[in-house]
């Protein structure tokens, strides 16, 4: 069931958080103009060759990954609920000289409208902290399936929901099985860029906003791997690849995480290898 009122609350929280996040990043337009990229190898491997491909980036945030995908030859459209994020993405496209279309909308509203208009995409992509903001997985997956062109592919690279059973200090606290029930957080989205440093600020890290506290609450919807894959299968998509990774790209999700080369974050010494990230590729079985 869609929880649009909670989406709206999250929009306000993301507006504040996005401004804080970008305050830590040195001239991003110059970084992209010079050939820089914010992508990781995992999503690039699943997306494949993008030259000339129409690519839809759902929950694109402030457009850094979207424009990095455009640099690989994709014709990109980014959609995000945050006004601040989309305003920034449009400026970043203009200042970097990399073309991209950015739309401010609730992803569910936009998917329905795009389907009515007959829009089609060769690639639909989402990544890194996107699924927890989705209140209805079935509607999301069906919306994606409706927009895939023949031979098109959906790619998701995401933090593993199993890791979300831990508190910041690695103690077990939260249930894995939660049936997508919303969890409320009084301080909304935090400043994970400040916690991660250069790994999430490849253009250069700045001190930026200090001691950020979000004045808006946030609401997350925790889904299992089975929930996610089941929604994609139920929408008529065939899973063509599923991968799990013992690291999280860029984000220091928990206390004491160690950074390996390439911005890969792993647990502290003494903790075993855990599934911290996964990747999915899916294609339409038939239309």
Using CA atoms, how far residue 183 sits from 109, 127, 135, 217, in Å, is 23, 20, 11, 10
Strands 277-284 and 237-245: antiparallel
What does the alpha-carbon distance between residue 76 and residue 52 come to, in Å, rounded to a whole number? 10
Nearest to 255 by CA among 171, 151, 132: 171
| Domain 4-284, CATH homologous superfamily name and number | Vaccinia Virus protein VP39 (3.40.50.150)
pLDDT score of 153 more than 90: yes
**119-130: per-residue pLDDT in tens?**
999 999 999 999
Poorest-pLDDT segment among 143-152, 181-190, 232-241, 266-275: 181-190
DSSP 40-56: -HHHHHHH---TT-EEE
Q: Extract the runs of DSSP E, i.e. beta strands, from the chain.
A: 54-58, 75-80, 101-104, 121-127, 148-159, 182-185, 218-221, 237-245, 248-249, 258-260, 264-266, 277-284
Phi/psi at 68 (nearest 5 deg)? Answer: -65, -35
How much is the pLDDT for 213? Answer: 93
User: What does the pLDDT read at residue 151?
Assistant: 93
- pLDDT value at position 188? 83
Interval 242-249 mean pLDDT = 98
pLDDT the model gives residue 286: 61
pTM: 0.95
Q: Which residues pair with 124 in a beta bridge?
A: 56, 154
Domain spans, the chain: 4-284
State how far the Cα of 93 lies from the Cα of 286, in Å rounded to an integer: 35
Confidence band for 179, pLDDT divided at 50, 70 and 90: confident
């Amino acid at each position: 069931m869609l929880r649009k009122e909670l989406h709206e609350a999250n929009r306000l929280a993301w507006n504040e958080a996005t401004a804080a996040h970008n305050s830590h990043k040195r001239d991003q337009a110059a970084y992209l103009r010079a050939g820089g990229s914010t992508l990781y190898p995992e999503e690039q491997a699943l997306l494949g060759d993008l030259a000339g491909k129409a690519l839809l980036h759902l929950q694109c945030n402030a457009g850094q990954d979207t424009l990095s995908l455009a640099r690989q030859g994709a014709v990109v459209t980014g959609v995000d609920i945050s006004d601040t994020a989309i305003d920034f993405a449009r400026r970043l496209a203009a200042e970097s000289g990399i073309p991209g279309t950015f739309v401010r909308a609730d992803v569910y509203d936009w998917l329905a409208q795009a389907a009515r208009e007959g829009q089609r995409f060769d690639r639909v992509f989402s990544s890194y902290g996107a699924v927890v903001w989705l209140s209805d997985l079935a509607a999301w997956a069906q919306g994606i399936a409706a927009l895939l062109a023949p031979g098109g592919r959906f790619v998701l690279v995401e933090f593993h929901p199993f890791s979300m059973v831990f508190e910041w200090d690695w103690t077990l606290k939260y249930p894995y099985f939660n049936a997508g029930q919303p969890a409320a957080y009084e301080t909304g989205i935090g400043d994970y860029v400040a916690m991660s440093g250069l790994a999430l600020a490849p253009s250069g890290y700045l001190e930026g906003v200090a001691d950020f506290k979000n004045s808006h609450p946030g609401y997350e919807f925790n889904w299992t791997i089975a929930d996610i894959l089941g929604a994609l299968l139920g929408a008529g998509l065939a899973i063509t690849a599923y991968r799990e990774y013992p690291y999280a790209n860029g984000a220091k999700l928990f206390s004491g995480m160690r950074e390996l080369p390439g911005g890969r974050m792993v647990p502290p010494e003494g903790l075993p290898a855990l599934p911290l990230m996964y990747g999915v590729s899916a294609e339409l079985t038939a239309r």
